[in-house]
Structure 1
């Protein structure tokens, strides 16, 4: 009887010591100062040894990931720097060529194409750089309390020439609302969505931009009367470089909505879309109301 009681007490004490050691190992791993030790299989459980090995391997992967992130950061910076000057020179020389007198119509058309394709390449490189920085976590956002009305007015002003060129009516409806967001990146995200709405809305169509505030978040709605999105593509359109077969005749590389979603998600928000094919689309951007 006494032996049985002693055995139970010893077992419980042994289990407590093992659990305490495991807890200490996990705490050290969370704090980032875990150091692998030598264990005696006869004195410590196999589970503890396996956990130690797993934590060690995980920390090695974390260090490798940090190294690769720094390499990617350097590569992205190099690409951005090395391509800026050549592209700027191509655009400059194409403009100078266009201003030359007695330029034949064929040559003028080719110069226009050089300038157009250079601008597309410049846009694509900028988009790829932003994408790489977002995915690597290099771009940091600084959300703070900002005016939603000021944000939307700024976006609508930026696209004024585009809507006038296509004779599209754009309506803005927003009270004095506030939310927590990074002004720079949120402006770009909303601009990408509005730009898509303009692109896929036919001449004479309409776009409405509005916002409504709730207790925990603020919702920005961008509605258009464009070509719409098939139901099976509602998630696909946010994928990087996705281009629907229905928009082959339109300019674009399929990066705008992807960037918009990544920028909004980086701030704790999200984007939803509801659309009916050939009738239009409604994009909703949700931003936190408080930090």
Structure 2
């Protein structure tokens, strides 16, 4: 696997190319060395022939033939015996023979030049290779530094192959995930601060009322007044209990810590369960409920949490619809989504209030209920969106309100 790495393959290809160049250079220097040796041998033969011919002019042709033609082993052995008498053999010192001395110097010079060239080529190759790695590592170091500082930095060669490229890709993934985690933690911190602030703000009024009522009970008041105070305290405590439970539910939904079921839910069953808790409030106001839709229309979701969301919406419609008014629920589906529409005959919503209807603790300009908290619709929106759904509202002043709930179809990727 190591040899298949693109960086290693690239280095090896350059190394092989370098070795090929070195071999060519070595051959060139060898040819030069052979030429020098040949030149020195020729010059030495010329010196011998010149010396002997000047002493024996009549034997010039024989001397030339003897020196230039091939030497037999017999003549070599005979010459070796003669020269040994004069201490001239392989053991003589290099500097005592000018031709050998010069040849050695030239050979050393050539080898030094060859070694220097090889060293320079290898040095350049290694430096370029490690410079490339260093630049990549430096680039990644800068990327990590700037990412930790929250500053943008464009890392070069992000799509290169090999282990370095893989490391860059994984580093990009890691920093992206870490940045997402940091952003998530920031949002969670803001969400927590807002939630605590909202709860504190909503509990402030009933707590103040409880303190005042409690102080009044210490006074000498008639029994009937005392009972009235106790009932008011009970109502405030119930309101606080409901508010805290609702806020806990909403916080869990918005924090995405709830695992919603993915069951097939029929709208007819969903509406039936939601109306169990809204039947009495509607009867008190003599309101009429109309339901229209095919019993087979369904969606994928969690019926228990969906009932919670639908109850809050119907409750809002009941509260804003006058006595003897009508509430109409229709549902339908198509290949893309299933839709549930809840329409009332209330006073409608001001256009300026529509963008804020689903915000926590928001009370519209026309809200007449003093004890209204404004958390129900916010919870409904969070529950629906957590089940691959959307909700929006259409309303005009004096024309009633329509809540549209859409659950998108979920298909397998197969």
TM-score by length of 2: 0.50
Superposition deviation, residue 139 in structure 1: 1.7
Q: Which protein is richer in strand relative to its size?
A: 1
Q: Which has the higher contact order (CA 8 A, sep 6+)?
A: 1
Superposition deviation, residue 56 in structure 1: 4.4
Aligned CA distance change for structure 1 residues 191 and 62 (closer, same or farther; 3 Å):
same
Aligned CA distance change for structure 1 residues 60 and 179 (closer, same or farther; 3 Å):
closer
Superposition deviation, residue 163 in structure 1: 0.2
User: Which protein has the larger Cα radius of gyration, Structure 1 or Structure 2?
Assistant: 2
Aligned CA distance change for structure 1 residues 195 and 60 (closer, same or farther; 3 Å):
same
Kindly indicate whether the alpha-carbon contact (under 8 Å) linking 2:353 and 2:365 is maintained by their aligned counterparts in 1: no
Gaps of 5+ in 2: 1-6, 12-130, 148-173, 200-209, 211-221
Is 1:246–2:366 an aligned residue pair? yes
Is 1:236–2:366 an aligned residue pair? no
TM alignment of 1:36-115, pairs within 5 A: 42-44=134-136, 48-53=140-145, 54=147, 55-56=174-175, 59=178, 62=181, 104-115=223-234
The SS at the match of 2:366 is helix
User: What per-residue deviation string (whole Å, max 9, x for no partner) do you get for residues 80-130 of structure 1?
Assistant: xxxxxxxxxx9xxxxxxxxxxxx9322222222112111110111011111
Residue 255 of structure 1 is matched in structure 2 by 375
Aligned CA distance change for structure 1 residues 240 and 67 (closer, same or farther; 3 Å):
closer
Aligned CA distance change for structure 1 residues 68 and 265 (closer, same or farther; 3 Å):
closer
Residue 225 of structure 1 is matched in structure 2 by 345
TM-score by length of 1: 0.69
Q: Which protein is richer in helix relative to its size?
A: 2
Residue 96 of structure 1 is matched in structure 2 by none
Alignment partner of 1:274 out of 377, 381, 394: 394
Kindly indicate whether the alpha-carbon contact (under 8 Å) linking 1:216 and 1:289 is maintained by their aligned counterparts in 2: yes
* Number of equivalences: 229
User: What per-residue deviation string (whole Å, max 9, x for no partner) do you get for residues 9-41 of structure 1?
Assistant: x9xx89xxxxxxxxxxxxxxxxxxxxxxxx999
Kindly indicate whether the alpha-carbon contact (under 8 Å) linking 2:274 and 2:311 is maintained by their aligned counterparts in 1: yes
- What is the rounded CA distance, in whole Å, between the counterparts of 2:369 and 2:307 in structure 1? 27
Is 1:211–2:331 an aligned residue pair? yes
Superposition deviation, residue 248 in structure 1: 4.2
Is 1:165–2:257 an aligned residue pair? no
- What is the rounded CA distance, in whole Å, between the counterparts of 2:255 and 2:331 in structure 1? 31
Superposition deviation, residue 247 in structure 1: 0.5
- What is the rounded CA distance, in whole Å, between the counterparts of 1:41 and 1:109 in structure 2? 82
Residue 131 of structure 1 is matched in structure 2 by 250
Superposition deviation, residue 172 in structure 1: 1.6
TM alignment of 1:19-30, pairs within 5 A: none
Q: CA RMSD in A?
A: 3.4
Gaps of 5+ in 1: 1-9, 15-38, 80-89, 91-102
Kindly indicate whether the alpha-carbon contact (under 8 Å) linking 1:202 and 1:226 is maintained by their aligned counterparts in 2: yes
Residue 154 of structure 1 is matched in structure 2 by 273
Residue 29 of structure 1 is matched in structure 2 by none
- What is the rounded CA distance, in whole Å, between the counterparts of 2:242 and 2:383 in structure 1? 18
Is 1:141–2:260 an aligned residue pair? yes
Superposition deviation, residue 46 in structure 1: 6.1
Kindly indicate whether the alpha-carbon contact (under 8 Å) linking 1:220 and 1:286 is maintained by their aligned counterparts in 2: yes
